[in-house]
Amino acid sequence: KPEGETPAEISKERPWADLLMGIIHFEEGDMDAALASLLKAESYDPRLPDLHLRIGEVYLRQRHSDDAERAFLRALEIDGDSPAAHLGLAMVHLRKRRNEEAAEQALQAVGLQHFLPMGHFYLGVALARLGHRERSALAFETSLTMLPGLLAAHRWLAALYQQAGGNPEKAARHREIYLQMRRRREVKAQA
């Protein structure tokens, strides 16, 4: 132990170290180690900023939607104005096909932080599933103004604009952008 530090001072630093290790493991793709570090941090200090968001992200990656939902709800208990927690809940609800709830959470997220491309994207998915084609197209277009490389948004727009009463020119344009971007990614992956 460093000179002059008491065990209480050391234990106060430990949750941050475990949180950081959890983030590192997550970025390295080791979800089991990430979750172990994050849950250890939670045992020391359950109110660490962003801790429950990180736990929720791990559970999402592991496809444990119920656990992810609990983590994002816990994050909202700590910070009710967290756009990231609402965004996480939107994703959970989309996975569970609870589209109205997904749309509500995505709206909450973009209401708190407008520049949130994935919030607009998730809103678009939920609205498309609910049959609101024009509103979903607007949400996807908004996500693309913020994140032009969002491949899935181009794919959704191509499909939406191709539907009866849609816009075949826009459908063709988004399909072409999607195909070009996908080819580029495949070439990069092979290099």
- In order along its 191 residues, the chain shows pLDDT tens digits of 445 555 445 445 689 999 999 999 999 999 999 999 999 999 999 998 899 999 999 999 999 999 999 999 999 999 999 999 999 999 999 999 999 999 999 999 999 999 999 999 999 999 999 999 999 999 999 999 999 999 999 999 999 999 999 999 999 999 999 999 999 999 999 98
Q: What are phi and psi of 3, to 5 degrees?
A: -55, 130
Task: Please tell me the predicted confidence (pLDDT) of residue 9.
Answer: 53
And the tokens for 90?
């939107």
Say if residue 133 is exposed, middle or buried (CB neighbours under 10 Å; 0-12, 13-18, 19+). middle
Asked if residues 75 and 52 have their Cβ atoms less than 8 Å apart, the reply is yes
pLDDT tens track for 70-121: 999 999 999 999 999 999 999 999 999 999 999 999 999 999 999 999 999 9
31-36: long-range contacts at Cβ-Cβ below 8 A with a sequence spacing of 24 or more? 31/58, 31/61, 31/62, 34/58, 35/59, 35/62
Q: Which residues contact 96 (CB under 8 A, 6 or more apart)?
A: 65
Q: Produce one character per residue of 108-127: b if its CB has 16 or more CB atoms within 10 Å, e if not.
A: bbbebeeebbbbbbbbbbbb
Output DSSP code: residue 111: H
The residue type at 70 = R
Asked if residues 55 and 35 have their Cβ atoms less than 8 Å apart, the reply is yes
Reported residue count of the chain is 191
And the tokens for 138?
């607007």
Output DSSP code: residue 191: -
